[in-house]
Structures are given as structure tokens and as C-alpha cells.
Chain A
Amino acid sequence: MMSSYFFWQKSHSRITSKQNLIILLLFLLMVFSIFLGFLIGSFDSSIIDFIQGKSSDLENNVLTQIRFPRVILAGLVGASLGVSGASLQGLFRNPLADPGLIGVSAGAALGASVVIVLGSNVIPEFLFGSFLLPLSAITGSTFVISLLYIFTKGFGYKGITYMLLIGIAVNAIASVGIGILTYISTDSELRGLTFWTMGSFGGVTWPLLIPALLIILFSMIWIIPASRQLDLIQLGEPEAYRLGVDIKKLKYRVIFSSAAAVGASVSLSGMIGFVGLVVPHLVRLIGGVSHNYLLPGSALMGASLMINADLLSRIMIQPAELPVGLITTAIGSPFFLWLIFRIKKV
């Protein structure tokens, strides 16, 4: 117990003042993005009226029941993908770790789909209530991360290839699985293959959001204090051990917190790619690699990015909507290529 207290302690939060400033700016960016997200939408409304309490019932409903939960979900999903990407990159010591690329999101999507199609007959509704969906997704994502860990254990930097290969395999299996499930289950709210593969924040309501919100917040609160340990493990597992890190505990912590965050996100919004890859690298580029700056920074930047991507998806081709995964992939894949070239040089 002393040991967990010890490491949980703000140990020397070796954030530099420059990094502190960046975190502050990212926080402001997120607040601004949320504000922008609340302000703009297809529905004609006046925020000013809303704030003054003068808006109609319909306006109130649209804003509070449809727009606000959607913006909040986008922020949560962006934050959780950002933090999970950063912590997975840290644990695997692999700059290409991204929940989408390595198959974690696909595992979550498949887990959710299986339960949606088969589960409602097997698992009584009252047992988990609205937690059933995120939990089933989390089961899928946990399974994939554990698989990854077993297969790449100890390879560290050399494990990049294996990781991506497993990611390719899992993504393929999940696609087929979800495809088959959507095909056979016209009787269910499976939402279709395009929802799962391209992602969307539409259709979220507060009751659906609450379980995911709790899970995501909890997982972020759980992982961020492990920042220092994630720093130490960059020296290699033996060295981190010698510096007092319980490697096994750290592995479980990273694996379960990212599985939880990614699982909850995917269960509500489908697979949205590249955010977990791009955001941590951007945050590193602007301020450095230390994890107690990187993790909160990735959460804030991920949230801002996602809220704005959702905003674009809502207004770019009004009244139609662009799947948000299309936007993140369009921006993320060139970045991914650039990253590969950069790594090749090392």
C-alpha cells in the first residue's frame, strides 16, 4: 500500500514550465472547441437566446438532448483515443501503436456487435443495463491487447512488425465478423457496417452516454498517474524494474485502462481511426516526450481534434453527414506515412 501511495504521489512532477503552458493552452483549445461545437449545427438556433432562457422548447430540446451530448461524446472519445494511443505507445515502446492500427478498436467493435446480435437473447437486460454494450466492447478490446502483448513481449522496438501484422489480421477478422453479423441480423439495431467502420457520433443520448462517460473518466484517472512509470519503462523492462517499477502491475494498468477507454468509445461511436496515432505524436512534437505532460496533453488535444472533426462532419455537406472516421483517416493516413519514413531513418 505504501508503494502505491508512493508512486501515486505527485512524485516530482517534472513538467517544465513550457509544458505547463502548453497544457494550459490545450485546455483552452478544448474549451473553445466545446463552445464552438455547442454553437454551430444544422439546426437554426441562437445560443444567446438559450443562455438567456428565452429559447423555445424545441430549441432547448435540440441543444440539450441532441447537440450537447454529441459534442461531449466527441470530446470523450477523442480524449480516450488520445490517451490510450499514448499509453500503448509507451508500454509497447512503439511509436506506431494506435488502437485502430493494431486491432484494438476492431476487437471492441466485434465484441459489441456479437452481443448486440446474439447477446440480448442470452444475457438478460437487467443484468448490466446500459453498461452491457460498453462492457462487451471492452471484453473484445481487452482480448486483442492481451493477444498483442503476448505476441510481442520483449521485442520492444523490434516488435513493430509483429504488432502491425496482428493488427492487420484482427482488423480483417473483425470486418468479416461484423459484416456477417450485419448481414444476418436485419432484425436488430446493429447500425450497419458503415457505422462500425467509419464511425459516427450521431444518435447518442444522455442515458447512453453516462456509462461510457464514467468508464472513460475512470480509465483516464487511473492511467495518468502512471506517467512516471511509463517514462521509466522506456529504459527497458529490466531497468524500469531496477528503478522500482512493478512491471506486471504497470502492464495490467495500461492494458485494462486503454481497453476500457477504447471499448467504451467504440461501443458508442464505431471505429474512428488514427486519432490514437496522430495526437500523441503531435503533442510530443510541440512540447516533449515526458509522459506526465504527454498523457494529459493527448487527452486535451484528442478531445479538441475530435470535437472539431465532428463539427466538420456535421456541416461540411449539410444536411447530409460525413462519417467522422473519413475525416480522421484523411488527415491521419498521410501523417502515418510520414511517421514511417521518419522511423526508417532512425
Chain B
Amino acid sequence: MSIRSKSISVSFDNKKILEDINLELEEGEILSIIGPNGAGKSTFLNILSGDIKPDNGSVLYDEKILDSIGIEERSFTRSVMSQSQVLVFDFLVKEIIEMGWIDRGISSYAKYFKTAMTDIIRECDIEPLLNQTFNTLSGGEQRRIHFARTLLQLWRPSDSNDPRYLLLDEPTANLDLSYEVKLLNIIKNKAELGYGVLLIIHDINLAAKFSNKIALFHEGSLFAFGAPEEVLKSEILSEVYRIPIEVDNDSLTIKYY
């Protein structure tokens, strides 16, 4: 089971943003997308989530064309975290997280709500923030709450085999190092549980450490795709980022100054 992009191309205002992207996000793996700004990474994520329709090509969820899947059904299968908008009204943190809960019919899932909340709150370590007003939180804290909400959306009882995909656009931006690491560890756990995770990330070192696969975007094309050791090569990175980059092949750490 996977989310697959088949020959995706899209332009805005006659400017080509993405050209012929073929990529597959498989269950149980973490796929990181890296590349310079303006390479089309966020646009690609939005196409995968169904926010934007591509000009050419198609998105397939478990081999079904995304267009044929209803809006609600999509929300059972994938959740997205990207830039958030200002909240006009004073919602409580608890209420924001709860917005992630999708009731799937009468009583089958409603009874799990409490359990799910407890799990997520514990996992994301946000207990102390629960009863505060969301708008009083710092930027980083707010991101952590949105992340928790994203997880809640895909929560299942432990015996579930449903395919689930997390699409995350720079989830660690503005986070303290400790929380950054915590979040990536949570992602790793989810992947082990069977989630497919797409992660747009700036820090190549972190990408190297946490991903199963890496996709390198450059000027709207998929420049390289594969296991980290295949993609994180000195010549490839130097060409894309236009500065000399050294890669330590054993530890896969990047150096550039």
C-alpha cells in the first residue's frame, strides 16, 4: 500500500513549478524530501494531499485515483501538517487537538476518543499546555499542538491494519533541539507501526539519520531518489545546492562552510 505520484506536473501563472514527478511513499517508511527553496517541495506535498490538482499526471492512494476518493475518506487516510493560520477566536489547546478527531460513523470509534487523546497527549508531552488558550502559546508550542492534532487524526486502535500516511512540511521548524529530536523519534515510531511518512525537511543531516528514502528536488524536478546513501553524494548535493558539500560516507554526515 502506498501513495504514488505518477508523472505529476503543474504550473502557476505560466511558470513551471513541477515537471514529471514520479515518486512512491510506502507504508512503514519515512521518505524525506530535501532541496533548495523554490524547488517545488511544498507544492508537491499539497498535490499529494489533494489540496491542489496537478495539470498532468495523477495521484494514487493505494492504487486508487485520488479524484475518486471522497473528501472525508481522504481524511481517514492521510493527515497533513504545514503552515498554520492565525486563529481569530480563543480556542483552548485541548479544543485544537480535538479538531483532529474524525468520527467514522456512529459508535464504532467514538468510544476510543478518550483513549486516543490520552495516548497522543502523553506521546507528544503536551499535558501542561492543555488548558491554556492556544493563542497564548509560543510559535514552537503551537507547532507541537498542530503535530499532535495531525497524529490524532490518524489514530487507530492497536489492532488496526488501515493504511495511514503522514504528510509533514517542515514539522521541526522553530522547535527547540530537544523537541525536534522528540518529534522525529515519534515519527520513527509511527513508521514502525506501519504509517507512511512524507517529511519535507531542511536539515540534511537529520534527513540522513531518520529516513528510509530521500527525494532530492531541484528546480521542479526529481533530481535524485533512493536510499540515503544513494542520494547523499557529494557531487549530487554540491550541484543542487551550488556550494561545495562534503559527505562522510560512513556516518552520512554533511559538511559545508
Chain A interface residues (CB < 8 Å from chain B): 2-3, 6-7, 9, 11-12, 14, 93-95, 156-157, 231-232, 234-236, 238-239, 241-246, 284, 288-290, 346
Whether A244 lies near B85 (C-beta < 8 A) is no
Annotate B79-96 by CB proximity to A: 1 below 8 A, 0 otherwise. 110101111111110011
Residue in B74, B89, B90, B101 with the greatest tally of chain A CB atoms within 10 Å? B89
Please pick, from B86, B90, B98, B102, the residue contacting A289 in the complex, using a CB distance under 8 A. B90
> Interface segment, B103-111, B182-190, B193-201, B226-234?
B103-111
Please pick, from B72, B87, B92, the residue contacting A3 in the complex, using a CB distance under 8 A. B72
- Complex CA–CA separation, A253 to B111 (angstroms): 29
Whether B95 lies near A244 (C-beta < 8 A) is no
- Complex CA–CA separation, A56 to B74 (angstroms): 66
Whether A231 lies near B71 (C-beta < 8 A) is no
Q: B22 at interface (Cβ–Cβ under 8 A)?
A: no
Whether B99 lies near A232 (C-beta < 8 A) is yes
Whether A289 lies near B89 (C-beta < 8 A) is yes
Chain B interface residues (CB < 8 Å from chain A): 46, 49-51, 70-72, 74-76, 78-80, 82, 84-92, 95-96, 98-106, 110, 113, 135, 153
Kindly count the residue-residue contacts between A and B in the assembled complex, taking CB atoms under 8 Å apart: 87
Determine the residue in chain B with the shortest Cβ distance to A92: B88
Whether A12 lies near B104 (C-beta < 8 A) is no
- Complex CA–CA separation, A9 to B110 (angstroms): 11
Determine the residue in chain A with the shortest Cβ distance to B90: A289
Whether A242 lies near B49 (C-beta < 8 A) is yes
Whether A9 lies near B98 (C-beta < 8 A) is no
For B85, what are the chain A residues with a Cβ–Cβ distance below 8 Å? 156-157, 235-236, 239
Whether A241 lies near B91 (C-beta < 8 A) is no
- Complex CA–CA separation, A3 to B151 (angstroms): 22
For B110, what are the chain A residues with a Cβ–Cβ distance below 8 Å? 11-12
Whether B103 lies near A246 (C-beta < 8 A) is no
Whether B99 lies near A242 (C-beta < 8 A) is no
Please pick, from A3, A94, A235, A288, the residue contacting B99 in the complex, using a CB distance under 8 A. A235
Whether A231 lies near B103 (C-beta < 8 A) is no
Whether A234 lies near B91 (C-beta < 8 A) is yes
Whether B102 lies near A243 (C-beta < 8 A) is yes
- Complex CA–CA separation, A157 to B84 (angstroms): 13
- Complex CA–CA separation, A244 to B105 (angstroms): 14
Determine the residue in chain A with the shortest Cβ distance to B78: A242
Determine the residue in chain B with the shortest Cβ distance to A238: B51
With A236-B85, A284-B89 as given contacts, are A241 and B51 in contact (CB-CB < 8 Å)? yes
Determine the residue in chain A with the shortest Cβ distance to B82: A238
Extra contacts, 11 of them, besides A93-B88, A238-B82 (Cβ < 8 A), are A3-B72, A95-B88, A231-B99, A234-B88, A234-B91, A236-B85, A238-B51, A242-B74, A243-B153, A244-B102, A245-B71
Determine the residue in chain A with the shortest Cβ distance to B87: A234
Output the least CB separation between A135 and chain B (Å).
32
For A94, what are the chain B residues with a Cβ–Cβ distance below 8 Å? 88
Output the least CB separation between B121 and chain A (Å).
15
Residue in B79, B82, B86 with the greatest tally of chain A CB atoms within 10 Å? B86
For A236, what are the chain B residues with a Cβ–Cβ distance below 8 Å? 84-85
Output the least CB separation between A18 and chain B (Å).
12
For A11, what are the chain B residues with a Cβ–Cβ distance below 8 Å? 103, 110
Output the least CB separation between A130 and chain B (Å).
39
Output the least CB separation between A212 and chain B (Å).
30
Whether B88 lies near A231 (C-beta < 8 A) is no
Whether A244 lies near B71 (C-beta < 8 A) is yes
- Complex CA–CA separation, A235 to B95 (angstroms): 12
Residue in A2, A235, A284 with the greatest tally of chain B CB atoms within 10 Å? A235
Determine the residue in chain A with the shortest Cβ distance to B150: A242
Determine the residue in chain B with the shortest Cβ distance to A5: B105
With A244-B72, A244-B74 as given contacts, are A289 and B91 in contact (CB-CB < 8 Å)? yes
- Complex CA–CA separation, A221 to B49 (angstroms): 33
Please pick, from B84, B99, B104, the residue contacting A243 in the complex, using a CB distance under 8 A. B99
Determine the residue in chain B with the shortest Cβ distance to A280: B89
Determine the residue in chain A with the shortest Cβ distance to B86: A157
